[in-house]
Amino acid sequence: MAVRVGSKVRARVTIVEQGRARKRLDHLTTEEPLEIRLQAGGQTKTVAVTMRTPGADFELAAGFLYGEGILSERGGIHHISYCVDPAVDPEQRYNIVNVGLHLPDLPELTTLERHFYTTSACGICGKASLEAIEIRGCPRLSPGPEVSPALLLGLPEKLRQEQRLFDATGGIHAAGLFNAEGDLLCLREDVGRHNAVDKVVGWALLNHTLPLSHCLLLVSGRTSYEILQKTTVAGIPIVCAISAPSHLAVDVAQKFGATLVGFLRGERFIIYAGEERVQFD
């Protein structure tokens, strides 16, 4: 039986080595639903439910709403809180986040209908399109920084050194935001890659640092359409990944002028778009 302790769960496991079995306590990554609710004008509406790792929930909600165009600035938020409704099971109150808006009524939410339930794995990747970003009116990304191959090659180790939950569980994704000098500004971990990105963007929104036009983002897994959608809206010009991009991720990068790097490991990487930001000798 697993016992939850915040972002980790203790579980008794059996380890088999060289034909011998031994029991011990291990840690697993916590995965629980987060319901995101909007509040305005005395109304409350659920706009998304996503499976996530508890932690930085307010940043996750803010980053998600920013990526979907519901929020455009920190000032649009009246409050963010966990649910305190006495009718809700106390054990579930920390799985519900209320985001109050400085609006007389709830905004138009038809663009969020596809998100009513998303998974921690890939969200809406299969249903998305380039037109969804164009309708948002997102401009092409600014020129942003130019970086050396050596700077890019040093990012994975910097990310790995700060992955505390990965050290404990071995089963969680990370997104790290770096400045043009390669300094780590913010790292968030989550069972979902896109959730980790939302947490980083939410951190930037709540700290009044958007757009992130002079930053780089590194994700620990692959890059999907949805991750490029979120980074494009946040203004991040360089997106790197330890693994491969999807074809839609490459399409978004080319359409909006992002630099997209994949298979960033060891002494090599592949540039799929925007190589003009990588300075070669």
Domain residue spans of the chain: 149-277
Tokens of 51: 């499976």
The whole-number pLDDT of residue 36 equals 94
pLDDT of residue 130: 60
Q: What is the DSSP letter of 147?
A: B
The pTM (predicted TM-score) of the whole model is 0.88
The residue written with tokens 């659920």 in the block is 46
Report the alpha-carbon angle 218-185-160, nearest 5: 50
Backbone angles phi, psi at 103, to 5 degrees: -140, 150
**pLDDT given at position 117:** 52
CB–CB of 30/54 below 8 Å? yes
Tally of CB atoms within 10 A around 147: 21
End-to-end CA distance of the chain: 56
Residue 213 contacts by C-beta under 8 Å, 6 or more apart in sequence? 141, 142, 144, 235, 236, 237
Helix, strand, coil abundance in the chain, percent, nearest 5: 30, 35, 35
pLDDT value for 113: 59
Q: Answer whether 215's CB lies under 8 Å from 178's CB.
A: yes
Catalytic residues: 122
Strands 259-265 and 268-273: antiparallel
Report the distance separating Cα 112 and Cα 46, nearest Å: 10
Give me the residues paired with residue 40 across strands: 43
pLDDT score at 118? 53
pLDDT in tens, the chain (281 residues): 444 547 888 888 878 788 888 898 888 888 889 999 999 999 999 999 999 999 999 999 999 999 988 999 999 999 999 987 777 777 777 899 999 999 999 988 766 655 555 554 444 433 345 666 664 678 899 998 999 999 999 999 999 999 887 777 777 899 999 999 999 999 999 999 999 999 999 999 999 999 999 999 999 989 999 999 999 999 999 999 999 999 989 999 999 999 999 999 999 999 999 999 999 87
Class of domain 149-277: alpha beta
